[in-house]
Amino acid sequence: MAGRGSFIESFPLFGYDLNDYDELFSEKLEMLLKLNEDERITWKGRHTQTINNRGVYPRPYQSKLPIWIAVGGTPESIVRAAEHGLPMALAIIGGMPSGFVPHIQLYKDVYKKSGHNIDELQLSINSHTYIADDSQQAADEFYPPYAEVMTRIGKERGWPHASRQQYDASLSPKGSLLVGSPQQVIDKILYEHGLFGHTRFLAQMSLGAMPHKKILHAIELLGTKVAPAVKKYTAQKKVTS
């Protein structure tokens, strides 16, 4: 996944101007796509280094890398992914997922308008996820590391403190956090599938200082209970449609 990123500390480190944020990413993406097309590349850009007929190694195991564009809701990034006909991975880390429906519709509209086959469209929803044997256990175990990370980042960006009240609201059936029992997470994935019709779901589990043993158990529940139920539902839906 290639994305603009939400942290800007690397700009002064590499001598970039923050005013070139969007243009810089656009050029680097074009360069990446060209690197992905051919073994040898000749390239000259405004922000990137010049390459004169050089080979890039090692080559991917596939003929080409499956490049996705990762976005957090920026319309320019959504349009860029759609115009290139690239799969899009949308990260939903706050708010209500239903509020992102217009973003997905924008992606689909531009994707189709740009001449790409809508049947080949690939879309991923990426969410903070934690699964435990019961809902209260999941909520209580995930909150401390989640609050610590979000509060620390919030201090850097001017966000409010991550309160338990806000956290609990995000755990609601239509909230952004996929935290709960296996059935609750199944229900929320399918709820979002009804909103977006996405083809992939990515669960970001290890947020903050979560104990390794608990993360392993959450992964086990994802693989043995959540994923099979979701795959069964989506397979049946394809047959009936």
User: Which pLDDT does position 237 carry in this prediction?
Assistant: 75
pLDDT digits (tens, 9 = 90+) for 187-232: 999 999 999 999 999 999 888 788 999 999 999 999 999 999 999 9
Residue type, 140: D
Q: Which of 113, 98, 104 is nearest to 75 (CA)?
A: 104
Domains (ranges, CATH) in the chain? 1-67 (no CATH), 69-240 (3.20.20.30)
Are the C-beta atoms of 241 and 159 separated by less than 8 Å?
Answer: no
Q: Is the pLDDT of residue 240 over 80?
A: no
Nearest to 128 by CA among 101, 158, 160, 153: 153
Q: What is the pLDDT of residue 239?
A: 63
Across 70-76, average pLDDT: 90
**In this structure, which amino acid lies at residue 66?**
P
Question: What is this structure's pTM?
Answer: 0.89
Amino acid at 141: E
Query: Tens of pLDDT along 33-72?
Result: 999 998 899 999 888 889 999 998 888 888 889 999 999 8
Q: Is the pLDDT of residue 30 over 80?
A: yes
H or E segment at 124?
A: strand 123-131
In this prediction, residues 151-160 reach a mean pLDDT of 82
Question: Residue range 144-154: average pLDDT?
Answer: 89
Lowest mean pLDDT among 91-95, 134-138, 159-163, 221-225: 159-163
Residue 180, classified by CB atoms within 10 Å of its CB into exposed (0-12), middle (13-18) or buried (19+), is buried
How far apart (Å, rounded) are the C-alpha atoms in residues 78 and 108?
A: 9
- pLDDT on residue 209: 86
Q: What is the pLDDT of residues 85-126, one digit of tens each?
A: 999 999 998 889 999 999 999 999 999 999 999 999 999 999
